[in-house]
Each structure stands twice: as C-alpha cells, then as structure tokens.
Amino acid sequence: MTPDPELFRLLFEEQGEPVRWFPGVPCPCYRPQANEYSRNCPNNCHFGHIHTERTTALNGQPLATYDENGWMTEGVKAVIQNKTTEIVDTQTGMLRGVGDATIMTMPDEIPLSRPDYFLLQGRLDEHKEVLKRGTADRLSYPHAATVIRLIAEDGTALEEGVDFTLNTTTNSIEFLTNIVAIGDKYAVYYQYHPRMWFNEERKRPARPTKFGARLPVRGVLSTKHPSQFDSSAPA
C-alpha cells in the first residue's frame, strides 16, 4: 500500500520543529570549475554562495513565524533528529565528513539542496567566548538571541541595556560605557539559534504516489559547512 503523504504532514505537525530556510546561490566570486571563492568577498558570502532567507514554502505556505511571546503562530515544520552520520564520497568511497543530524521535509514545502542552510528557530544553544574590545566585537556563532552575562577581565559584571547592547543584525557587542577599555578582554556567555548546513540527501529520493503528491525527502545536516570539515572554527 502506498502511504498517503498527508499522513506525513500530520506527523510533521506533531513531531517536527519550525525552521528558517536559507537557500544558497553562487556568488560572483565563486569559480565552480576550481571550487574556489574569494575569502575577502565584499558580498559577505558563505564559501562562495549568497544565502537569502525564504519566507514561504514552495507550496505557498508561510514558513514558521512567532508572536511577541515567542510562540509559533503558523508555518511548516521539519523533522530533525540529532544523529551522527558518516558522509562517504560516492566516487572514492572515502570518508569526507560526519553529519550531526538528519532532516526530513516534504518536497513540495522545503526541498533539500546544497548549499542551503537551516536556522533551528525552536532551539537555543549556549556558548562562552572571550573577545577583545575593538571596532568589531562580533560573536563567532551567528544568529545570537540573547546575552546571558558579560564579564569584564577584572570580574565586573556588565548590565545589558546600560553598559552594552547586542546587535542581532551584525551579531556583535556594542558598548555603551567604557567599563571595558579598548583592547581589554571580556567574556560573553550567550545563547544562539543553531545553524545547520544541508550536506546530502540520504535514502530514497522523493517519489510520486497515487495521491498525486510526493513522499518526504531525507538528508544529512552538519553544524559546519561541508568546506569546513578540516577546520576547528565555528560554522
């Protein structure tokens, strides 16, 4: 018996989570023949691709949105499971990376394609980072949501809104006082919405059914961009 895709939508509604979807397109600096890109690209691209958030699914439904209290009001979901998965080059048979999660989506809502990435808006991870006050106090992990605390080098705790603010557009700390002098170090404890890169499709591809729709597609997500598997830097 061919399963009804609508049953999967019900499963997604019950067990899925809202995601923000950022499709990627090649940047003018990208040279596909050599798989090279400019590390000083003025477009601030990610590894030779420009990512723009899509706010509607392919079928026209709005993607996840939240009200002022942070509750999801509408949108489609994806089923994401934390699961370590080896990623093997199909041509050479050699291990080229390790995925951190699997994802399942409905192809008429969110197709899976490299080099897209997903922002897991329903999750928050925490990170501590030591920075030096300068002209660009940017946090390493993008999509920072809130600062838990900020501690000066001498142990002084700074107050958000009084001594500093978090600019979520530039993902940076902006100081309002001089408690931390230029060049001094400080520690930031903050929460951020994790970003995961789509790496490759797994198992069976989407296929048509007698119901006139297609079954879910599955893939592997990585916390690091596929080009970063040999790097210890944050994705």
- Give the tens place of pLDDT for each residue, 71-107: 666 778 899 999 888 777 767 777 767 789 999 998 8
Tell whether the model's pLDDT for residue 232 goes beyond 60. no
**46 and 81 belong to one structural domain:** yes
pLDDT (mean) for 201-217: 65
Reply yes or no: is the peptide bond before residue 115 cis, omega within 30 of 0: yes
Residue 234 counted as domain residue: no
The DSSP output letter for 56 is B
pLDDT number for residue 235: 47
Residue 82 counted as domain residue: yes
Cα distance from N-terminal residue to C-terminal residue, the chain: 42
pLDDT number for residue 156: 96
Domain count, the chain: 2
Residue 235 counted as domain residue: no
d(CA 131, CA 77): 36
Domain limits at 15? 5-122+194-228
What percent of the chain has a predicted confidence (pLDDT) above 70? Answer: 85
The DSSP output letter for 5 is H
